Amino acid sequence: MQLLNMKVLQFLPYFPPHIGGVEAFAKERSSAFSEQKKGKLINVVFSPGQPENLTSYEQDGYTVMILPAFELISNFPVPKIRSPIFWSQMQKIKAEKADIIQTHTRFFLSTFLGGLLAKLRKIKRIHIEHGSGFVKGLSWRKTAFAQCYDQIFGRLIFRLADSLVAISQANLPFIQQFTRKKISVIYRGFNFTPVLREKKEKPDQILIGFVGRLVKLKGVDLLIEAFAQLEQEYRNLRLQIIGDGEERCNLEKQVEALGLGDKISFLGYQSPEKVYSDFLPHIDIFVNPSLQEGLPTTVIEALFAQCITVATGVGGTREIADGEDFIVVEPGSVEALKGALNQALALVGKANGASYQQVRERFGWKRGVGEYLENYRILASK
């Protein structure tokens, strides 16, 4: 089959404006597919985070079809299978007669739904795995449930896929626990626009930044504690936190208890475009203290914006770059973060963006998009 006529159904738990790495990845892939004029891409997404009272819409050359759902627990949408709208939407989805179904991350029910449709309709399926381990940071009951789900349904998701893609080399050992199938590694491609590092209004003030969801797994509480210890030695430090989430209230209380309300700012949610163009060019040090990742988008963007970057070595983080301006530490340790921040502070004003070229070559837009399109072509020709 020629790519020009291909129709792809992409099943997702969430889609922008909902915030997350998978969402951003999927939107970029959708735009790229549309720009390449290779066919039609339809995103099948659950309703949380989507515009109300809509069942579908067109955007940037691709289609979004919305399935009614609710969140059983935070960040785990469940389809409303008793809703007539759910079944009428599924009929429309089946009527599209897709050539390929693409699913993301094994533990979401959107992946199970896409896998089931692919099996019943005998449609080739690509599965893209963003995770590099079992889910962490949950209560013991939720953790036990998640691991049982992985062992039963996750295993099926991997084994029944016609093509398996990992987003980093670090993902491979985890996926290989479930299947002996060949797994391709395709890095996410970024449509980078160069940014100018702007002259700071207060050159004597050092800005440290974080961007991400404010949830336990992101380790922001550890960053705040490390900052509190460093602030006693460096009085010119400021920490700015962009993002929102269920932990925001607890983190604000932590800052208040430490008496650092004048040094640590919570800036709330900002669009990825605003973060990249307005926030990253102003900060000196970017920190990702996460306890679990696939391939952290914000780290790649920070290095492209030539920020000195400190990140925990989770998921595919160590594959991103190896310049002196990229300091990788073990996760879960305040002391490790403090030590890395001390290293980073010594580089402020001296670093030359050593990781910039590495990131540009490894995660370039054309390379990432081209590899996915080739994967589609091979699968469609089988």
Q: Are 170 and 145 in contact (CB under 8 A)?
A: no
In a domain, 10, yes or no: yes
Q: Quick check: 1 pLDDT over 80?
A: no
Count of other CB atoms within 10 angstroms of residue 77: 24
Give residue-wise pLDDT tens across range 320-344.
999 999 999 999 999 999 999 999 9
My answer on whether 182 and 42 are in the same domain is: yes
Task: Tell me, yes or no, whether 18 and 133 share the same domain.
Answer: yes
Per the structure, the count of domains in the chain is 2
3-state secondary structure string, the chain?
Answer: CCHHHEEEEEEECCCCCCCCHHHHHHHHHHHHHHHCCCEEEEEEEECCCCCCCCCEEEECCEEEEEECEEEEECCEEEECCCCHHHHHHHHHHHHCCCCEEEEECCCCHHHHHHHHHHHHHCCEEEEEECCCCCCCCCCHHHHHHHHHHHHHHHHHHHHHCCEEEECCHHHHHHHHCCCCCCEEECCCCECCCCCCCCCCCCCCCEEEEEECCCCHHHCHHHHHHHHHHHHCCCCCEEEEEECCCCCHHHHHHHHHHCCCCCCEEEEECCCHHHHHHHHHHHCCEEEECCCCCCCCHHHHHHHHCCCEEEEECCCCHHHCCCCCCEEEECCCCHHHHHHHHHHHHHHCCCCCCCCHHHHHHHCEHHHHHHHHHHHHHHHHHC
The tokens for 120 are 């019943």
Using one digit for the tens of pLDDT, what is the confidence trace for 287-325? 999 998 888 999 999 999 999 999 999 999 999 999 999
Q: How far apart are CA 150 and CA 136, in angstroms?
A: 13
> What is the pLDDT at residue 198?
64
pLDDT (tens digit, 9 = 90+) per residue, 89-135? 999 999 999 999 999 999 899 999 999 999 999 999 999 999 887 77
For 36-83, the pLDDT digits (tens) are 777 889 999 999 999 988 999 999 889 999 999 999 887 889 999 999
Domain identity same for 183 and 243 = no
User: Taking the model in full, what pTM does it have?
Assistant: 0.83
Quick: pLDDT tens for 180-206: 999 999 998 887 777 766 666 556 789
Domain containing residue 7: CATH number: 3.40.50.2000
Shared-domain flag, residues 173 and 216: no
Residue 280 in any domain: the answer is yes
- Domain housing 322: 206-362
Q: Mean pLDDT throughout 260-270?
A: 96
Q: In this structure, are 154 and 214 located in the same domain?
A: no
Q: 163 and 15 in one domain? A: yes
146/264 same-domain check: no
Task: Please indicate, yes or no, if residue 201 is contained in any of the structural domains.
Answer: no
Residues 266-277: b if buried by 16+ CB within 10 A, e if exposed: beeebebeebbe
Residues near 342 by beta carbon (within 8 Å), at least 6 away in sequence: 230
Whether 197 is covered by a domain: the verdict is no
Considering the domain architecture, whether residues 226 and 174 belong to the same structural domain is answered as: no
377 in the same domain as 309: no
**Judgement on whether residues 104 and 218 belong to the same structural domain of the protein:** no
pLDDT at 279 over 80: yes
Structural domain includes residue 49: yes
Residues 71 and 149 in one domain: yes
Does one domain contain both 183 and 211? no
Q: What is the rounded distance in angstroms from the CA atom of residue 286 to the CA atom of residue 289? A: 10
Scan for tokens 């010594």, then name that residue: 346
Give me the residues paired with residue 286 across strands: 209, 309
CA distance 177 to 360: 32
From its phi and psi, is residue 216 left (phi > 0), alpha (psi between -120 and 50) or beta?
Answer: alpha
> What CA–CA distance (Å, rounded) separates 129 from 146?
16
Is the CB of residue 307 less than 8 Å from the CB of residue 287? no
